[in-house]
Amino acid sequence: MSVESTWAERALHYAKHIATRIGPRGAATPEEKHTADYVQRQMQLLGLGAVHVETFNTVTAGWLPITIIFSIAVWSVFACWSLFYLNQGRPIGTDVTNSEQLVTSLPGALVAAGLCIVALVFLFLEITLRDHPLRRFGARGRSHNVMGRLAPAQTMQQRVVLMSQLDTPPATAVFKTSRRSRLFRTLFYLGAASLVGSVILYVLGGLNLWEWAFVFAGIFGMLQSAVIIQSLRADHGDFTPGANYNASGLGTLLALAERLRGAPLQHTEVWIVCCGSHTIGSNGLRVLLGKHADELRTAWLIGFEGVGVGDRLITFTREGWLRRSVHPAIRELIERASKAHPDQPVEARATPWNTVVAAATWRGYKSTCLSVYAQRNEIPYAFNQADTAEHLQLSALNVVQEFGWQLLQEIDRTM
């Protein structure tokens, strides 16, 4: 048995314990706290330094901001038509001059267009994982980040953060199958585009340049209502057991920590970080980056997400709804590691979802995420109650363990 397989077995041991002994562990739930306690104990047993848990307040509904954003847009339809009829001072059939028509239609159109612009601004902030006032609404709970450090063998010259997530998502009907996920993404993109279209239509209608503008804006409002319904559904469902997504990532992190304890890097300090509340807007990583900004600004961040099932090693070069590109230094790092080990094929892909390092990627950090796919271009069993420990594969964990180790060696040689 190879050395890598031995470490993959350790990763499998950790992952199975989390998935079977703790099980479903939604963001800011007692089960997430149990997972944080388990990871903290393992880090302490492995001899990591400065092991501690950072607790923070967080919302518990990840899609609520999207619901509010598109609700603002739908209210613009009512505002437009209400003000339009309130400003009609003449009986129907009476001749009206162009200036009088403008007075009738323009106020409501401006209010409606303004609401849609506000919705667009909030939507951009939300999908780029920025903080904004709408994220303060809704029920709140306590979540956790677990951290530990491994000192280098010699003088520290740089830092790398290995990351994964503590929580699991709900098995919502919206993402139950690949087809439903594609439908949700398509509807979301159309809804976002309709916000831009609504602004244009309200301006055209307000200036009396097109008599059907307000009607089509109302049709766009129906599309935006469909997004509201889907986003409400996206937050509901029983939490998944989360064996592959993402106990496999936690197990890989702990196995790498154990491996690094016996063979530390020469000039690179390693942080092992397990973030809470990833599934509700990457809140754990946001808190981490805000609290440790000075220490992490020049650090490398490598995430592990869904690495326990499949045979295709994936690195993400673009991610999120707007396909944010990773830092150029990350592309060069992956290319060097791939060339040094041509026997291990690595696929560079884009994903519409936010990975465990998405908040760092949007802020310009040197960050990337490793995953393993099977036949389909998605993480196997994610958002599914079938995500149980018996599906975890030693071969998948072995592949990501070896490539993750090689990335660390390449980083240590990068000064």
Is omega for the bond preceding 246 within 30 degrees of 0, making it cis?
Answer: yes
Count Cβ atoms below 10 Å from residue 195 Cβ, excluding itself. 24
C-alpha to C-alpha distance for 110 and 113, rounded to whole angstroms: 5
Delineate the domains of the chain, giving CATH numbers in brackets: 3-60+140-171+238-413 (3.40.630.10), 64-135+174-234 (no CATH)
Residue 14 CB partners (closer than 8 Å, separation 6+)? 42, 247, 250, 251, 254, 255
Reported as a pLDDT band with limits 50, 70 and 90, residue 106 is: confident
CB 111 within 8 A of CB 83: yes
C-alpha to C-alpha distance for 265 and 411, rounded to whole angstroms: 9
CB 304 within 8 A of CB 408: no
C-alpha to C-alpha distance for 273 and 166, rounded to whole angstroms: 10
C-alpha to C-alpha distance for 148 and 250, rounded to whole angstroms: 13
Say yes or no to pLDDT of 295 above 90.
yes
Phi-psi region of 252 (alpha: psi -120 to 50; beta: other; left: phi over 0): alpha
How much is the pLDDT for 84? 63
The maximal CA–CA distance of the chain, rounded, in angstroms, is: 90
85 vs 203 pLDDT, higher one: 203
Reported as a pLDDT band with limits 50, 70 and 90, residue 122 is: very high
Count Cβ atoms below 10 Å from residue 178 Cβ, excluding itself. 11
Reported as a pLDDT band with limits 50, 70 and 90, residue 5 is: low
First to last CA, the chain: 34
pLDDT digits (tens, 9 = 90+) for 77-91: 888 777 666 666 545
How much is the pLDDT for 290? 95
Separation in Å, CA 47 to CA 159, 257, 276, 391, 401: 18, 9, 22, 30, 20
Residue 20 CB partners (closer than 8 Å, separation 6+)? 241, 389
How much is the pLDDT for 1? 40
How much is the pLDDT for 90? 47
Average pLDDT over residues 232-236: 91
C-alpha to C-alpha distance for 35 and 33, rounded to whole angstroms: 5
How much is the pLDDT for 414? 83
What does pTM read for this prediction? 0.91
Residue 72 CB partners (closer than 8 Å, separation 6+)? 115, 116, 118, 119, 122
Query: Which element (helix H / strand E) includes 257?
Result: helix 248-262
**Two tokens, residue 106:** 């323009």
143 DSSP β-pair partners? 56
Query: Which element (helix H / strand E) includes 200?
Result: helix 178-206
Average pLDDT over residues 139-152: 96
Reported as a pLDDT band with limits 50, 70 and 90, residue 114 is: very high
CB 194 within 8 A of CB 70: no
Nearest-CA neighbor of 301 among 281, 335, 324, 329?
Answer: 329
Reported as a pLDDT band with limits 50, 70 and 90, residue 101 is: low
C-alpha to C-alpha distance for 38 and 230, rounded to whole angstroms: 35
